């Protein structure tokens, strides 16, 4: 299928750009800008229950934001990988490095509220439909397919926007309400 080829080549192009952007000294400045915009949006939205991600090297470093939000006693959740998708668990220390180099809290059966005020999702790129191009594993797509009605706002973040004016995504790809880039 043509769209799959387009999506795969677009993903490869975006990953190259992100890797390059992640090796520059500018990444700290870019991350700081994204975190400030993101924090202001969280406050403006009065989001109390937030799904975040634990960053890879090519993704915006959310750790300073996590520390700030924990200090404000907001409920923070992160993905916990299970098979081809994930479930949401409370953010808590210590973190362990798991598959794909992703950090996670230890397995938790802790209860979480069904509704989330906001989900902050890392992107590799996006197209004109505001749909996400990720790493190609489909974990966020499978999660959102089941949970979309329980998520008030979806926010995409990236250190650098990689954008296609052509539709390269599919209907099942996660769609953003807001995109925050430097």
All structural domains of the chain with their residue ranges = 2-74+115-180
The pLDDT of residue 57 is 83
107's CB contacts (< 8 A; 6+ apart) are 80, 89
Residue 9 CA to residue 16 CA, distance in Å, equals 11
The pLDDT of residue 1 is 43
Residue 139 CA to residue 82 CA, distance in Å, equals 9
Contacts by residues 111-116 (CB-CB < 8 Å, ≥ 24 positions apart): 112/77, 112/88, 113/49, 113/75, 114/150, 115/49, 115/150, 115/151, 115/152, 116/49, 116/50, 116/51, 116/77, 116/88, 116/147, 116/150, 116/151, 116/152
* Residue stretches of the chain with pLDDT short of 50: 1
Residue 58 CA to residue 19 CA, distance in Å, equals 6
The pLDDT of residue 113 is 59
CATH fold label, 2-74+115-180: Rossmann fold (3.40.50)
In sign, the C-alpha dihedral spanning 15, 180, 51, 145 is negative
């Amino acid at each position: 299928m043509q769209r799959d080829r387009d999506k795969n080549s677009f993903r490869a192009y975006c990953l190259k750009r992100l890797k390059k952007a992640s090796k520059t000294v500018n990444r700290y400045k870019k991350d700081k800008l994204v975190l400030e915009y993101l924090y202001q949006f969280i406050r403006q939205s009065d989001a109390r229950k937030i799904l975040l991600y634990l960053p890879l090297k090519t993704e915006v470093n959310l750790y300073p934001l996590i520390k700030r939000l924990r200090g404000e006693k907001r409920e923070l959740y992160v993905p916990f990988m299970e098979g081809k998708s994930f479930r949401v668990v409370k953010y808590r220390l210590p973190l362990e490095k798991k598959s794909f180099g992703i950090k996670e809290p230890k397995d938790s059966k802790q209860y979480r509220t069904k509704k989330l005020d906001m989900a902050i999702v890392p992107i590799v790129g996006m197209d004109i439909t505001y749909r996400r191009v990720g790493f190609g594993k489909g974990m966020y797509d499978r999660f959102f397919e089941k949970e979309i009605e329980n998520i008030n706002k979806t926010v995409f973040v990236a250190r650098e926007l990689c954008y296609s004016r052509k539709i390269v995504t599919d209907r099942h790809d996660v769609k953003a309400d807001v995109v925050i880039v430097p």
